[in-house]
Amino acid sequence: MKMQNKTIVKLIVCSVALLTAVIVCITRWSAWFGNLPEPAYNTPPQPHNIIMTYGADATKDRTISWRADTVEQDFALMLEMPDKTKLEFEPTDSLVVTRNGKGVYYRVELHNLKKGKYHYQIIGDKYESRWYDFEIQNSNNLSFIVFGDVQDEVGGPSKQMFSMVDSLHHNVNFWAFVGDIIERPMDVYWQYWFECMNDVQTHKPIIAATGNHEHLKGLKKTRDNRWTNIFGNPHNGPERFAGTTYYVDFQNMRFIVIDTDGLTLFSDYTRTSAWLRKIADNDKRWNILMLHHPIYSTCQGRDNTLLNIIFRHSLKHIDIVLEGHDHSYAKRFSRTDTTLTTPVYIETTSAQKYYLSKVSPDDDRILSGHPVYNCIDIMNNTLIFRTYMIEGNTLYDQFTIEKTDSSLNIINQEPDTPEIIDLPDKYKGKNNIKIRRFNNRKAAREKNVKGEK
């Protein structure tokens, strides 16, 4: 009889669990797997969405891409060399059909460029662009900007943010994006991103990682094919990840990008991790890794367990890991006993949407509820990392890495600005276990900081 009762209890428990799972799937199906319909759009006939990316060798390779409508017309790229001679290049083209529109994407790859200033113009049968310029500068010194997730709504603050950063850091070499550049894989959001960039992308190369918001949802995610055609990245990554997992070589640095959204099979993780170990062991002074999903998640309920287990053992030669996705800022140093070492993990966000921070005691510096951007300056053997709050362009975090063939020294230089761990507005007025955990950890962290002082 007791055995029968136990069986009945088990059946009831399993039935309740199954019913709960079904209810959750029904209520969350659209959020997990559904896509809003894309509004119809018409592609303009004149060349637009002009963008510059790097080839595999940033010291001499550039790729210029643009879009026009599907009308039969011939385009060419006119390039004025530093010595004022002009060369004409015929682009490759790809017809891209999306859910509710289409366009032709053009691309010209420029190789073996010499040091100096270049001018270029896109010319066609009926239309031509204005002249743009870029410069090839080969040096052990580099400066670049890193943006976290942007994910802006049309009419949002991205334009102001990009304009401010460009005016304050106009002479940087390039801009990097950790993914989720757009809110949804729709043309209206792509057009708004280009509008907000205000032509920065025509003369300053862009390095981008894919994010989940550049994908169509489904039982299997599908990358928006506009992404691949907009960003003319090198095809030097693992098989099946051409143009999405790749690296760019500078004089003194290798910048590595991994497409974490493309990691679906276990073999994808292991093969990409092995590829990373191999290409990070090089003769460059600095190795920077950028990927959308963080190895150490900073927000509650968003752990990437397989990524953490497999990839954190492939980072021996990586100096900084740039991450996004969690809409929160955190800095985490690696340690050998009590000595700071690399890699340094940076979770960053430039969006106006925020998730609930873990307030992890393992993170050395946290910012919750506010957007930031990051600036990295490399001067031969010295790397300076700065984080600025977009509100008021306030310096929020800083550290320096000094590195030679035989030594590594990390100097933590946090400004006097106290940590800001704000509860995002979307969680205010609510009371659940996650919010109570946030408040308790915040209080404990603030108490420990005061105790140290």
What's the pLDDT band for 23 if we cut at 50, 70, 90? Answer: low
CA pseudo-torsion sign 81, 83, 84, 89: negative
Per-residue confidence (pLDDT) for residue 159, from 0 to 100: 97
Per-residue confidence (pLDDT) for residue 207, from 0 to 100: 98
275-327 confidence digits (pLDDT tens): 999 999 999 999 999 999 999 999 998 999 999 999 998 999 999 999 999 99
Per-residue confidence (pLDDT) for residue 219, from 0 to 100: 80
316-343 confidence digits (pLDDT tens): 999 999 999 999 999 999 999 889 999 9
Percent above pLDDT 90 for the chain: 86
What's the pLDDT band for 453 if we cut at 50, 70, 90? Answer: very low
Per-residue confidence (pLDDT) for residue 72, from 0 to 100: 81
What's the pLDDT band for 13 if we cut at 50, 70, 90? Answer: low
Per-residue confidence (pLDDT) for residue 18, from 0 to 100: 66
85 class by beta-carbon count within 10 Å (0-12 exposed, 13-18 middle, 19+ buried): exposed
Per-residue confidence (pLDDT) for residue 310, from 0 to 100: 97
What is the average per-residue pLDDT within 379-384?
Answer: 97
343-355 confidence digits (pLDDT tens): 999 999 999 999 9
> Angle, to 10 degrees, between the axis of helix 187-197 and the axis of helix 158-168?
30
Per-residue confidence (pLDDT) for residue 110, from 0 to 100: 98
99-116 confidence digits (pLDDT tens): 999 999 999 999 999 999
Q: Which of 32-36, 333-337, 382-386, 420-424 has the lowest mean pLDDT?
A: 32-36
Instruction: Calculate the average pLDDT of the chain.
Output: 93
What's the pLDDT band for 67 if we cut at 50, 70, 90? Answer: very high
Please give the CATH topology (third level) of the domain spanning 139-427: Purple Acid Phosphatase; chain A, domain 2 (3.60.21)
Q: Please work out, in degrees rounded to the nearest 5, the angle formed at the alpha carbon of residue 93 by the alpha carbons of 91 and 99.
A: 150
Is 2.60.40.380 the CATH classification of the domain at 48-134? yes
What is the average per-residue pLDDT within 144-166?
Answer: 97
Q: Going by C-beta distance under 8 Å and a sequence separation of 6 or more, which residues neighbour residue 105?
A: 65, 66, 67, 93, 94, 96, 226, 229, 230
Residue entry with tokens 């004025």:
80
φ and ψ at 58, to 5 degrees?
A: -70, -15
Strands 215-216 and 339-347: unpaired
Per-residue confidence (pLDDT) for residue 1, from 0 to 100: 58
Q: Going by C-beta distance under 8 Å and a sequence separation of 6 or more, which residues neighbour residue 177?
A: 146, 147, 150, 206, 207, 208, 209
Per-residue confidence (pLDDT) for residue 14, from 0 to 100: 67
Quote the CA–CA distance of 43 and 162 in Å, as a whole number: 25
What's the pLDDT band for 20 if we cut at 50, 70, 90? Answer: low
> Domain spans of the chain?
48-134, 139-427
Does residue 91 surpass a pLDDT of 60? yes
Q: Do domains 48-134 and 139-427 have the same CATH topology?
A: no
What is the average per-residue pLDDT within 234-257?
Answer: 96
What's the pLDDT band for 406 if we cut at 50, 70, 90? Answer: very high
Per-residue confidence (pLDDT) for residue 451, from 0 to 100: 55
Quote the CA–CA distance of 46 and 51 in Å, as a whole number: 15
What is the average per-residue pLDDT within 67-78?
Answer: 92
pTM of the model: 0.93
Helix (DSSP H) and strand (DSSP E) numbers for the chain: 8, 25
